Amino acid sequence: MPLVKYNDPVLYQKTEPVDMGDDNAKARVDLAAALIIEMLKHKGLGLSANQMGVPQSVFALRRNKPITVFNPYVLRASKEDESFWEGCLTFPGLYMMLKRPVWIEVQYQNVSGGTVNEKLEGMDARVFMHEMHHMKGEIFFHKKPSWLKLRRALDKCPKGEEYAPFIREYWVKTMGFDF
C-alpha cells in the first residue's frame, strides 16, 4: 500500500474507530504491518492509516521498536509548550517550527486489543500529537503557524511551489478567510 497524494480527500476526513473484535484481528495485524513497513521505508517517525488511504483511527510510531496505536485519546496535556521542527511524509521536504505540549497522557489499544496508558514527553509527545491531527482529518500546518511562517517554509521546500496553491486553498476552506 503506497502513500496517497497530499490532495487525496481521505486525508481531510475524520477517521473511524477500528473494530477491536477477534473477527477483525487478522485485518488489524495486516494493517499494522503495512503501516510499520511504509513508515520505516520513508524513514518517518510516525505514519497514520489515512496517509495510506485507510480512513481508520490507527497510526504507527517509530520508537526503539516500532509500534501501532489503535483508537487513541489524549487524556491530558501540559499547559507548557515547546517549539521544534516538524515534517510530514505526505508533504516531503516541508518542515515547520511548531508548538506542542511538553508532555501528554494518552490512552490507546495495541494491535491485540489491550489498553495502554502512557505519559509521553518531548519528541514522542510531538509525534503522537502530529498523528492525532491526522485522525481528525487535519494536517500539521492546520491553524498553528502564521501564513508568513508557512510561506517561508514553502520557499525552503524543494516541492514547495507544487504544494503552495493547495495549502492556500486548504487554509481558506478550513479557516474561512483569504489572505
Q: Under the rule (CB under 5 A), what is the footprint of Zn ion?
A: 88
Is the Cβ of residue 9 or residue 114 nearer to Zn ion in the bound state? 9
The single residue of 131, 138, 161, 162 carrying the catalytic annotation is 131
Shortest approach of Zn ion to residue 90 CB, angstroms?
Answer: 5
Task: Return d(Cα 14, Cα 136) in angstroms, integer.
Answer: 5
Is the Cβ of residue 36 or residue 88 nearer to Zn ion in the bound state? 88
Scanning the chain, the segments in alpha helix (DSSP H) are: 25-41, 122-135, 147-156, 160-175
Shortest approach of Zn ion to residue 59 CB, angstroms?
Answer: 9
Task: Return d(Cα 174, Cα 138) in angstroms, integer.
Answer: 9
Task: Return d(Cα 80, Cα 85) in angstroms, integer.
Answer: 17
Shortest approach of Zn ion to residue 111 CB, angstroms?
Answer: 21
Shortest approach of Zn ion to residue 71 CB, angstroms?
Answer: 18
| 179 three-state secondary structure | coil
Is the Cβ of residue 166 or residue 179 nearer to Zn ion in the bound state? 166
CA distances from residue 64 to 52, 94, 171 in whole angstroms, order as listed: 23, 25, 36
| 105 is known as an active-site residue | no
| 11 three-state secondary structure | helix
Is the Cβ of residue 29 or residue 40 nearer to Zn ion in the bound state? 40
| 127 three-state secondary structure | helix
Q: Determine the residue with CB nearest Zn ion.
A: 88
Active site residues: 131
